[in-house]
Amino acid sequence: MAKPDNRADNVEHLQQSIQNTQRNLHEAEDYLNEFASEISSEERKQIEDKNERRQESIKGFREEVKDEAAHSKE
């Protein structure tokens, strides 16, 4: 038997995901700023690419929060 869809804490989980992703993004930026002269251009590109994906994830999480807020008002 399938569990009922409990969306009560979805926004909270999404907010946590946003915060964690933002923290990782900032840590990576700090790392790049501090060690830019010591890392290879390939590693720098990988970190920058990952940060772009993190920014896209944050946008997606925020859209999901809006969707969840709209569903909770129904």
Q: What are the pLDDT digits (tens) for 22-35?
A: 999 999 999 999 99
Q: Identify the sign of the CA torsion 45, 48, 20, 16.
A: negative
- Residue 35 counted as domain residue: yes
Widest pairwise Cα distance in the chain: 57
Q: What is the pLDDT of residue 5?
A: 64
How many CA atoms lie within 13 Å of 65's alpha carbon, on the beta-carbon side?
15
- Residue 2 counted as domain residue: no
- Residue 46 counted as domain residue: yes
Quote the domain boundaries for residue 32. Answer: 7-72
Confidence of residue 70 (pLDDT cuts 50, 70, 90): confident
Q: How many domains does the chain have?
A: 1
Tell me if the pTM is above 0.85.
Answer: no
